[in-house]
Each structure stands twice: as C-alpha cells, then as structure tokens.
Structure 1
Amino acid sequence: MPRKPRGLPLRAVAPNAITALALCSGLTGIRFAIAGNFQIAVLMIIIAAVLDGLDGRVARMLHGESRFGAELDSLADAISFGVSPALIMYLWSLQDLPRLGWLCSLVLAVFCALRLARFNAQIDETEQPHKSAGFLTGVPAPAGAGLAMLPLFFWVWTDEPLFRSPYLVAPWVALVALLMISSIATYSWGSLKLRRNIRFEALAIVVLVGAAIVSAPWHTVSLLAAAYFLSIPFSMRSYARIKRLRAAPAASSAAPSAPAIPDDDL
C-alpha cells in the first residue's frame, strides 16, 4: 500500500512564514513605487532581504528545513529581488526610455529567475567547486537587487539628477543582471574567516556599521553596496588561488613516475 505523503511539519511553519513575509514586503515595494514613494519602496526591498537572511537560519535552528521551504524561498526571491526591483527601477528612471528601459527591467527580472532556477537544479549536486570552497556562483539575488538599485541609493541622499538618467541606469541594471547569472566566484559568509586576533576589531566594525545605518542610512547602504561591487575582483582572485592550490596535489599525483633503469645499464 503506497505511503500517504506527510504534510508540512509544525517546526517548518515559522521559517516559511518569514519567507512569506519577505514576499509580502517585496510586493509592497511595488505599491509604493507606483505611488512615487521610492524611498519606502527601497526600504521594503531591504526588509525583504533581512527577512530572507533570517528564514534559513530559523529553519536550521528549528530543524525545519524542507523541500517546500526551499522552493517557496526561491519563488519569493524571484519576486522580491527580481520583479520588484525591476519595476521600481523602471518606474523611477527607465520609463524615460520605454523600449530599452523595459528591456533592461525584463532582463533583471528574468535573469534573477534563471539564477534561482540554476541554484535549485544544483541543490542536490555533491560536486560544486564554488560552494565547497566557501564561495557563491555569481551575485546572489538579494545582493543583485541592492546593486541594481545603487543609483537610486545615491540619488536619494545626493539629489543629483545624473543618477536618475536612464542612459546611466539602463546599462548598470543590465550589468548587474549579467553578474547574477555569471559563473564568477563571489564571497559568501562561509568564505569570510576571521583570525582570532582581529575578532574584537571585527565586532567593533559591526557596531560602527550599525550606528552608521541608524544615523545615515542611505549613505551607509550606498557605501555597502559599492563596497560589495568592488569586492568582486578580489573574490575572483581568491577563488583562483584556491583552485590552483587544489589542482597542485592532483597534478603531482597524476604525474607519471620515472621509468626504472635496468641493472644491466648500471
């Protein structure tokens, strides 16, 4: 007799509820963008990113990981960090270039979905070189949303019309979309290992960043997004170094041994 499928366990309700809240926050960002309140729209995306970072940790803490949760998380990310930022950027700037602007918005949304589909397709694979080395493949969806909206961050606190120019925003959004589906290695929390002698200093930096977010949120978010973008070449170099170190023992073990010399030739 076939086994009756079990429902969602109770311990998985909390992380999935957080994921649903992140989805609601991302969708609400579109509503504020339609009303022309772009600061609150961006804030909704940031809240969605915070909630997205919490749901996985809550799931692991409660042992509530499930395939349902993984699929729901990917669907929520595709909307909160793909569709919503694309529409926000279109309504804010790209609508001044109706065809090219809409194309760039579509590319951002679709490439975000493609990235998440690739992640789901590889979730059960044991051989993942980037993941095993503590790196991610391409720019993750929440970081991609933040990078795509970087001109909007700068515009909010500088009020400089240049940052709203669709001729600047369109290629930038397209570049971020390409980074999301690229195969470059990017930093993840797993690749950041602090030495014991600088952990106190790292804690002090976290406190300073928190204070900066409270006192000057837009300045701080802009600098954090710019710093992440500038870190990409360093992450690529770090992974290339790890890849060379891994390849060295394999090459030495695969090298053919020297042929033995017969005794008659001695």
Structure 2
Amino acid sequence: MGTPFSSFEPHGPNDEARGPRLREIPFRLLVPNLITVLAICAGLSGVRLAFEGRFELAVAMVLVAAFLDGIDGRVARLMKATSKFGVQMDSLADIVNFGVAPALVLYAYVLDQARSLGWIAALIYVIAAGLRLARFNVMAERDVKASWQSEYFVGVPAPAGAMLVLLPVYLGLIGFEPGQLMGLISSAYTVLIAFLLVSRLPVWSGKSENRVRRDLVLPVILFVVLYVATLMSFTWETMVVTAAGYLITLPFGARAWHKKYGSSWPDHPDHTPPGDDGLPMDRV
C-alpha cells in the first residue's frame, strides 16, 4: 500500500544502472540521521529554554546538541551507514547547533544588555560559523590533502567555537552579574571568537595522536575520570577552565606549526605549505 511520503533515498535517487529500487532499507542507515535530528531538537530546545530564563538547562542542551552533532558521523562510519543524505543533514544541523543556538542563548543571557551592539555581535558569530562550515564543505570535495591535515585545523573548529562563545554564560552561572558592562565585554569576546573561526590560525587537532604510550594509559584514564567527576560536581567552573585552557593552547599550536613547517600561517586553500604536495582541506 502506498503512502503520501516520498521514498527515502540515502544515496540519492536510484537509476537503471543501480538496479531495481529497494522497497526497504536497513534500520542502521537511519540511526545516524536520527542522532542528527535529536541534535537539532536539543539545540533549538536550548534556545527556547534560554528565552524562558532557564539558562542552566539551555546551555546544557546546547552542549548536548554539540556532542550529538559530533558523534553522528562517527556512528555512521562505525555502522557503515554513511550516505549523501546524512552528509547534507549533518551540514544543516551544524549551522543550527554550532552557530544559531549558542548565539541566541548568549544573546538572551547577556548580549541583549549591550542592545544593538550585542545583536550585531551575535549576527557576526552566526555568519562566521556559517562561513567556516561552508569552507569545510568546499574543501571536503577535494581528493588530495596536505600532509599537515592529520595534525592541524585551519582556524578554531566549529564545535570548539560553540563551546568557547558560551564562556560569558558559564561565568554568569558561577556568580558574575550579566549587566551592561559584561554585555559590552561579551560582545567584543563574541566577535573575537567569530574571527578565530574564520581565521587561518593553525590549531592543533590531536587527530594524529591516536595511540597512547603504555606507561601513560593509567594516568590518562585517571585524568578523564577526574575531569568527568569535576564536570558533574562543578559544571560551570569546569567549563570556564576548559574554555580558558583551550584559548591558552592556541598560541602554542601556532608556534608548533611555525617550527615544523617554517610558516606562521597555513597558506590559502588554493595553495600548499612549503614541502607539501597536496591541497589543504579544512575540517570542522
């Protein structure tokens, strides 16, 4: 029996070269897309909670959205459920969860104290997040990659940007009064994070460090346990330390790039750094 809905084609429309149209698809193909949809729901629910004045839950929902948005692609690869449809869904979810949601939560909490300047700062951040994600999509289509891509991002990645831009909210939740002065300072800080998103600053990604020395396994496990415990017990203080720590590491990443590649900045996407024979590709 037919339904009024169009068929779900995860890899695009079928044609004769692909054989007959499948009437059923494996449920595993839906799981990553369901995670993406849940991430969008969490991000938008965070915006609603912010405008209702429930800021702790609002920030928590935005961070949950960022987490879900970050794992959907990995789940798809683990389940061998990657698809063109999923890629497009994830791309659309990114601008909501890493751009719109954190900007609106931040505006509802403190940027509105700066009036028009706060709104302009929020707009700049959302546009910067969109530009970064668009640059990622364009670069992702290139087949040849530069050797440094396994070690560095170009600019602050969008998930980290969402975590960083909410720093004024973390500070407010541990006791700082969200007044006009804080609104002005937060507006300037928001523009700074927007600049870091679209900049060519080399940011260490950690992707190349996929192995842990045997003598460091137990210390790493203990550190993770300690971090999770402090995050559960002192959530906003831990988020303040996390955001500040991430910002502090940025100059060291640029310095390491300079030492290894002999350049202070990655070259323009249409060029390669000295010694590379591939085209650089940005990553979210």
Instruction: State TM-score, norm by structure 2.
Output: 0.80
Distance 2:236 2:206 in 1: 23
Asked if structure 2 preserves the Cα contact closer than 8 Å seen for 1:152 and 1:163, the reply is no
SS of the equivalent of 2:207 reads helix
**Higher CA-based Rg:** 1
* Larger RCO, structure (CA 8 Å, separation 6 or more): 2
Sort the Cα spacing of 1:248 and 1:76 in 2 relative to 1 into closer, same or farther, 3 A.
closer
Of 208, 224, 228, the match for 2:246: 228
RMSD: 2.6
Distance 2:46 2:180 in 1: 20
Q: Which residue type is aligned with residue 204 of structure 1?
A: L
Does residue 171 in structure 1 map to residue 188 in structure 2?
Answer: yes
Q: Which residue number corresponds to residue 45 of structure 1?
A: 62
Q: Which residue number corresponds to residue 234 of structure 2?
A: 216
Asked if structure 2 preserves the Cα contact closer than 8 Å seen for 1:163 and 1:169, the reply is no
SS of the equivalent of 2:140 reads coil
Q: Which residue number corresponds to residue 138 of structure 2?
A: 121
Q: Which residue number corresponds to residue 149 of structure 1?
A: 166
SS of the equivalent of 1:136 reads strand
Aligned residues: 250
Sort the Cα spacing of 1:238 and 1:192 in 2 relative to 1 into closer, same or farther, 3 A.
farther
Moved more, 192-201 or 73-82: 192-201
Per-residue displacement from partner, 1:85-126 (whole Å, max 9, x unpaired)? Answer: 111111111222222111111011111111111100111213
Does residue 30 in structure 1 map to residue 47 in structure 2?
Answer: yes
Q: Which residue type is aligned with residue 207 of structure 1?
A: V
Question: Any unmatched runs of 5+ in structure 1?
Answer: 251-266
SS of the equivalent of 1:81 reads helix
Structure 1 residue 77: Cα displacement? 1.2
Q: Which residue type is aligned with residue 78 of structure 1?
A: I
Q: Which residue type is aligned with residue 69 of structure 2?
A: D
Of 91, 115, 132, the match for 2:149: 132
Distance 1:158 1:191 in 2: 39
Structure with higher helix content: 1
Q: Which residue number corresponds to residue 198 of structure 1?
A: 216
Question: Identity percentage over the alignment?
Answer: 36
Structure 1 residue 232: Cα displacement? 0.9
SS of the equivalent of 1:63 reads coil
Distance 1:185 1:143 in 2: 14
Q: Which residue type is aligned with residue 220 of structure 2?
A: A
Q: Which residue number corresponds to residue 207 of structure 1?
A: 225
Q: Which residue number corresponds to residue 256 of structure 1?
A: none
Question: Any unmatched runs of 5+ in structure 2?
Answer: 1-14, 264-272, 278-284
Moved more, 168-177 or 132-141: 132-141
Per-residue displacement from partner, 1:162-214 (whole Å, max 9, x unpaired)? Answer: 69711110000000011111111212240445433322211110111011111
Instruction: State TM-score, norm by structure 1.
Output: 0.85
Q: Which residue number corresponds to residue 90 of structure 1?
A: 107
